[in-house]
Structure 1
Amino acid sequence: MIGIVIPACNEEHYLQDCLNAIQNAVEALPDTKTKVQVLVVLDSCNDRSLEIVQHAGVDYLECNFHCVGKVRDLGVRHMIRLGVTWIACTDADSCVDSQWLLQQLNHQPADAICGVVEVDSWKKFSALTRKNYLAHYQDTMDHSHIHGANLSFSAISYIQSGGFEALSSHEDVQLIKRMIDMDFNVIWSNLVRVKTSSRLHGRAPEGFANFLYQLEYNSEV
């Protein structure tokens, strides 16, 4: 069984599109016997996020952590207790590719898969920012990027590596570093793809939105 874990903190503007994209990825699986469980972990939400999840008929948990590492870990461990053997993580402001799950299955056997992200729109950015981003970003196989918005792993490797730490940023990086240190089979694929929002102020203080902000307003990044 595949489990999809999505942390959300006041994501009413993005969450429905996120869930729609995941449904498309589920429907693209050729084997209808592959069971997929979707879980949204609502962290300190006071907007319409809960209403959107309930209307979509998606399972959810509620917490008050203000910490993405703790939120992801809560969701992943909940899924594992339900018997999920493969967990795929994304973010509420992101839309997975229709082949997202299929490509993860195609990469098996694997202990973890690090996919790539695309920025959904460059309209608010300068031409120089886009140029610098594309020069930095490796949209290739065997890249070196780690994104919580596009990260998947086996339940066994997650438990053995200790899981997501209680960090407000970089919990994804720390998890993969531990897996590499433990000689797990980590695959770096640009076939596993996600589009993420171009917002400059995200929920994680040093997350992808902050990276885009620094690119736009600090030419030295």
Structure 2
Amino acid sequence: MIGVVIPAHNEEQCLEKCLQSVLAAAAHPLLAAERVDIVVVLDSCSDGSRAIAERYAVTVIEVQARSVGVARAAGAHALIDAGARWLACTDADTTVPTDWLAAQLAHGADAVCGVVEVDDWSPHHQQVRARYEACYTDCDGHSHIHGANLGVTSVAYLQAGGFPALACHEDVHLVRALEALGARIAWSRSVRVRTSARTDFRAQGGFGSYLLGLAGTA
């Protein structure tokens, strides 16, 4: 079984599109009808995120942590307990292509770090996009780590100690632990997602904070 973890904190504006895209990826023919379980981890939500998630064939878990590391770990362990051999992670403000899961598994690696595309640059000045694209390496062998586009075998995940209980950079800590173990990591541009460049981001110190930093406002 393949598992997908989606943490969410007050994501009623984005969650539906995310879930629709992940469900489409779960039905890709190259998965050969392997079961795909999707877990949405609602972290301290006070909006309509739960009602949206419950419209779809997903499992909903609730935590009160305001920590994406805690949320991802809760989802990962629920999926491992249910028998997942592979864990794919994305974010509620992200959409994935139909071949997302198939592309991760095609690498035959212990873990896959994919790339991200911004879906809408309008919240930012054009110089932010220019600075971002000048620094971003969109090619195989890149060095970017995105919780919005990460996959790992359950065995390697457990060996590395899982996601730490951090408010941000839990993805980086996991990948560094995998590297220390000598895990086979595919740094792939063929595994890509589209994510938000919103300025009302959920995780301080994450991708949204990075973009504000490029504008010189953070």
TM-score (norm 1): 0.95
1:40 maps to 2:34: no
2:23 corresponds to: 23
Contact 2:27–2:33, Cα closer than 8 Å, also in 1: no
Report the residue type matching 1:96 in the other structure: V
4+ aligned runs moved over 4 Å, structure 1: none
Which piece of structure 1 moves more, 117-126 or 66-75?
A: 117-126
User: In structure 2, how many angstroms separate the alpha carbons of the residues matched to 1:38 and 1:173?
Assistant: 22
Q: Aligned with 1:113: secondary structure?
A: strand
- The alpha-carbon deviation at position 126 of structure 1 amounts to 2.0
2:98 corresponds to: 98
Q: Which runs of 5+ in 1 are unaligned?
A: none
1:84 corresponds to: 84
Which piece of structure 1 moves more, 49-58 or 12-21?
A: 49-58
User: In structure 2, how many angstroms separate the alpha carbons of the residues matched to 1:203 and 1:192?
Assistant: 24
Q: Which runs of 5+ in 2 are unaligned?
A: none
Contact 1:170–1:207, Cα closer than 8 Å, also in 2: yes
Which residues in structure 2 correspond to 1:150-165 (within 5 Å)?
Answer: 150-165=149-164
Report the residue type matching 1:191 in the other structure: S
The structure-2 alpha-carbon separation of the partners of 1:154 and 1:31, relative to structure 1 and needing over 3 Å to count, comes to closer
Query: Percent of aligned positions with the same letter in both sequences?
Result: 44
What root-mean-square deviation, in Å, do the aligned CA atoms of Structure 1 and Structure 2 show?
Answer: 1.2
Contact 1:201–1:213, Cα closer than 8 Å, also in 2: no
Report the residue type matching 1:86 in the other structure: W
- The alpha-carbon deviation at position 30 of structure 1 amounts to 2.9
Total equivalences in the alignment:
218
- The alpha-carbon deviation at position 31 of structure 1 amounts to 4.1
User: In structure 1, how many angstroms separate the alpha carbons of the residues matched to 2:30 and 2:140?
Assistant: 24
2:211 corresponds to: 212
The structure-2 alpha-carbon separation of the partners of 1:31 and 1:85, relative to structure 1 and needing over 3 Å to count, comes to closer
Which residues in structure 2 correspond to 1:1-221 (within 5 Å)?
Answer: 1-108=1-108, 110-218=109-217
The structure-2 alpha-carbon separation of the partners of 1:2 and 1:173, relative to structure 1 and needing over 3 Å to count, comes to same
Contact 1:69–1:168, Cα closer than 8 Å, also in 2: yes
User: In structure 1, how many angstroms separate the alpha carbons of the residues matched to 2:188 and 2:32?
Assistant: 24
TM-score (norm 2): 0.97
